[in-house]
Structure 1
Amino acid sequence: MELKAAVLVSTLLCLALSRGALSQRAPTVETPAPAPAPAYVDLADLLSLAGPYGTFLDYLTKTDVIKTFQSQANDTKQGITVFAPLDSAFAAVDGAALSNLTTDQLRSLMLHHAMPRYYPLSAFSKLAAASPVSMFAYKADVTDRAGIIGVVSGWATAKLVSSVYSTLPVAVYALDSVLLPKEIFPTAPEITPPPAPAPAPGLGAKPMDDAPGAGERGAKADGGDKGSSCRVGAGRLLAGYVVLMVCGFLMM
């Protein structure tokens, strides 16, 4: 009986010691999930979907400058400002002037169309005052005349025609001309100006027949002519009748 009691006590003591050891075990620490990577603007997709910037994007891709721009766009500390000429701007430049450029010259020309920092539209007045400004290659002058922003480089005076995208760290602005730095073009390339837009409907002079009241005036004029013709005819008939009476009187 005493042996059974001793075994029971020993068993209970072991269970108590085991629970104490388990309760003193170090707690499990869960490793936090890694923070999601920031979402960057894909410049190639942006230029492809935004509008008529296919020629500019083709040159960026051909020269691998798109990689340089994308790397800068991913740098949220500085960002990037891209000046994208419209397709019509490239079409206006003499084709030989661009096709005769070396690979390095073409690459420099593309690098000349961006600044290695993000600038919203509100910053361009200060940029104009601080001109010339540094591009990825060479320098250019920024102008701000009564809110009309321009970029002057060598043989080109381009106008900023629209804001394609502007959210830190990326800004993309559309230009109506290709920048033509003298470092690349010693002489001015031939530029074909775009055709003048057709006049808007309603701005030209209306034909007289379409003018308000033209039909009424025409009807009045026609009526007046008919009245005059009738009076002239009646006068001639009366004069003939008088002549006949005179001739008859003389023959009597």
Structure 2
Amino acid sequence: MASTLSLILLTLTPFLLLSHQTLADDQEAPAPSSGPVNLTAILVKGGQYTTLLRLLSETQVDNQIENQLNSSKEGMTVFAPTDNAFNNLKAGTLNGLSREDQVQLILYHVLPKYYSLENLQTVSNPVRTQSSNDGLNFTGQGHQVNVSTGIVETQVNNALREEFPLAVYQVDAVLLPEGLFGAKAPASAPPPAKSTPADSASDKAKTKAAAPSAKDSTGDSNKRNVGLGLVAGLVLVCMEVLS
């Protein structure tokens, strides 16, 4: 009986030890983070995105991005221009945009899908953005990735975050879409105004009034002839008197 009990204990010992170790591991492992991803906090921590943060807040795009980010299964990718990138814009560029255009400009820096730097090197161009403007084009070689808008081309630099569902990459130039900053077509000259019958009649009346009539010309000629006749008569009378 004793030998049978010992055999049972020897058989169960490995299972008991494994269960104990598993329980200990579960107690020591940290709980997974379940909080929402906060884009604003990521940019604040980056320390050089004051202008971008202001625009995100003023246009309320920050709320739109974070609401969509935490409900999307595709994730999102954000390109964050630095303060120096905004300072390098032509003076008055941002103030010259309407609020709606400012919204479109910020959304042009957001892709509605998570992309790692490696993914960006193999995407099919152009890549759709959250803006209604044209997409972005990416080229890559080695560990370097460039992004182009058709107006601006810059390198995708430091990854502020590269973990699903959000990737945030620093860019040293503001991504200017052609839809907002491309060359505008010159305005065509207005067609000449069509003349109406009333206008034509008025023009004829003006022409008639400006031109002297034949009757007036004849009257003036007769008056000149009478005057010359009187002068000639007076000359003859004077000559007879003198003679």
- Tell me the TM-score normalised to structure 1 length: 0.57
Which of 121, 132, 135 pairs up with 2:129? 135
Moved over 3 A (4+): none
1:147 aligns with 2:143: yes
Cα RMSD after superposing both structures: 1.8
Segment drifting more, 43-52 vs 111-120:
43-52
CA deviations on 1:18-47 (whole Å, 9 max, x unpaired) are xxxxxxxxxxxxxxxxxx993111111111
Aligned-residue sequence identity (percent) comes to 31
SS of the equivalent of 2:68 reads helix
SS of the equivalent of 1:133 reads coil
C-alpha separation between the residues in 2 aligned to 1:58 and 1:187?
28
C-alpha separation between the residues in 1 aligned to 2:178 and 2:79?
18
Which of 32, 53, 72 pairs up with 2:68? 72
1:88 aligns with 2:84: yes
C-alpha separation between the residues in 2 aligned to 1:37 and 1:51?
24
Contact 2:69 2:76 in 1 (8 A): yes
1:176 aligns with 2:172: yes
Q: How does 1:12-31 map to 2 (within 5 A)?
A: none
C-alpha separation between the residues in 1 aligned to 2:74 and 2:105?
22
1:60 aligns with 2:56: yes
2:16 is matched with none
Structure 2 letter corresponding to 1:81: T
1:119 aligns with 2:115: yes
Structure 1 letter corresponding to 2:67: S
Could you tell me which runs of 5 or more consecutive residues in structure 1 were left unpaired when the two chains were aligned.
1-35, 189-252
Contact 2:154 2:172 in 1 (8 A): yes
Contact 2:114 2:164 in 1 (8 A): yes
C-alpha separation between the residues in 2 aligned to 1:38 and 1:76?
15
- Tell me the TM-score normalised to structure 2 length: 0.59
Aligned length: 151
Mark the CA change 1:173 to 1:37 in structure 2 (over 3 Å): closer, same or farther.
closer
C-alpha separation between the residues in 2 aligned to 1:37 and 1:174?
25
Could you tell me which runs of 5 or more consecutive residues in structure 2 were left unpaired when the two chains were aligned.
1-31, 185-243
2:41 is matched with 45
Structure 2 letter corresponding to 1:136: Q
1:12 is matched with none
| TM-superposed deviation, 1:95 | 2.5
Segment drifting more, 68-77 vs 160-169:
68-77
Structure 2 letter corresponding to 1:120: S
CA deviations on 1:59-101 (whole Å, 9 max, x unpaired) are 1111111111101221351111000001100000012121100
C-alpha separation between the residues in 2 aligned to 1:76 and 1:131?
22
C-alpha separation between the residues in 2 aligned to 1:154 and 1:65?
24
C-alpha separation between the residues in 2 aligned to 1:56 and 1:154?
22
Structure 2 letter corresponding to 1:75: S
